[in-house]
Amino acid sequence: MKVAYLGLGIMGSAMAANLARAGHQVRAWNRSPDRPGSAGVAEAGAVISSSLEDAVSDSDFIFTCLSDIPDVQQVLVGPGGVLEHAKAGAVVIDMSTIGPRAARELSSQLSNGGLRFLDAPVTGGDIGARAGTLTIMVGGEATDLDECRPLLEVIGKSVIHCGTVGSGQCVKLCNQVLCAVNMLSVSEAFVLADHLGVDRQLILEVCGSGAGGSWALSNLGQRIVNHDFAPAFMIKHILKDLRLVDESIPSFADLLPATALAEELFKLVARQDSEAGNELGTQAMILAYSKRR
């Protein structure tokens, strides 16, 4: 299949590489041409395009994986974007997290220009992106999903149709609430272990297989034990996702108090070292506890 992949960050580069390794004709593009992930995508067999137009003009399927709503809007419907250069009938699959309102607005704009749209945010982290084991939450027409499914099944082990356009984003926001609060509980379990004189590694080994186990404990917990705060998913991105949750419901803090506390702690870490904490992985929430003592 002829595929364009736009956005070669930690997640996008891994997904684009997997599509290329599966034998699809992938043309990849990133707004910053020196993105580190580009080399790995090229090694996997994709063509790195010098322009968005070159990437999308002959592609039947156009993936985007970008940071925030303005980025997706610029690439899809802005001047010189996908709407201007894609061929009629192409399917745009946006894997960013942008919330249901933005997804529906973009779908309408693209549809008016003769393009089809699926919102398809993912979960599973950098590990799942590299392994092709992501969970993909899809909103849009079932017939469009059926057409794209062979591609999505290269990227993820679980491809779920959540409903109409925007539904994938709704489910993703619920997922991000779980991620945020899980990181809160992992951090607090380790803080309690420290105070009780229990080794953090023991918590991983015992609790990871019990009723308190979670993806966050098994995967990000080990990074905390190793004092590894390099990002798989940056704090600035979870804060953006929690902002979208806030924008989607009334009385955010009253309705979701644990999520509001998680957001507060992420913000505390983000402000460290002149905002450099924004670039750390979400497991760096544990650093907030040392600041609160």
State the pLDDT at residue 291: 64
Same domain, 228 and 149: no
Q: Catalytic one among 2, 87, 157, 172? A: 172
Same domain, 87 and 222: no
What is the model's pTM? Answer: 0.93
Same domain, 279 and 202: yes
Same domain, 16 and 140: yes
Of 163, 181, 204, the domain-final residue: 163
Same domain, 95 and 178: no
State the pLDDT at residue 35: 82
Which residue stretches of the chain have pLDDT < 50?
Answer: 293
Q: What are phi and psi of 3, to 5 degrees?
A: -125, 140
Helices 257-270, 167-196: crossing angle, 10 deg rounding: 70
Same domain, 84 and 204: no
Q: Which CATH number goes with the domain that contains 208?
A: 1.10.1040.10
Same domain, 26 and 79: yes
Tell me which residue of 73, 82, 77, 93 sits closest to 49, measured CA to CA.
82
Of 163, 182, 203, the domain-final residue: 163
Q: Indicate if 291 belongs to the active site.
A: no
Same domain, 187 and 158: no
What is the extent of the structural domain holding 181?
Answer: 170-292
Four-residue CA torsion sign, 181, 182, 183, 188: positive
Domain count, the chain: 2
DSSP collapsed to 3 states, the chain: CEEEEECCCHHHHHHHHHHHHCCCEEEEECCCCCCCHHHHHHHCCCEECCCHHHHHCCCCEEEECCCCHHHHHHHHHCCCCHHHHCCCCCEEEECCCCHHHHHHHHHHHHHHCCCEEEECCEECHHHHHHHCCEEEEEECCHHHHHHHHHHHHHHEEEEEEEECCCHHHHHHHHHHHHHHHHHHHHHHHHHHHHHHCCCHHHHHHHHCCCCCCCHHHHHHHHHHHCCCCCCCCEHHHHHHHHHHHHHHCCCHHHHCHHHHHHHHHHHHHHCHHHHHHHHCEHHHHHHHHHHHC
Same domain, 183 and 104: no
State the pLDDT at residue 232: 86
* Cα–Cα dist 229/288, whole Å: 13
* Cα–Cα dist 86/108, whole Å: 16
Structure tokens at 142: 């079932």
Question: Who's near 244: CB < 8 A, 6+ residues apart?
Answer: 97, 98, 99, 173
Of 163, 180, 202, the domain-final residue: 163
Q: Which CATH number goes with the domain that contains 97?
A: 3.40.50.720
Same domain, 203 and 225: yes
Tell me which residue of 228, 186, 179, 182 sits closest to 207, measured CA to CA.
186
Same domain, 149 and 14: yes
* Cα–Cα dist 121/107, whole Å: 15
State the pLDDT at residue 29: 97
Helices 257-270, 235-248: crossing angle, 10 deg rounding: 140
* Cα–Cα dist 235/216, whole Å: 14
Same domain, 151 and 269: no
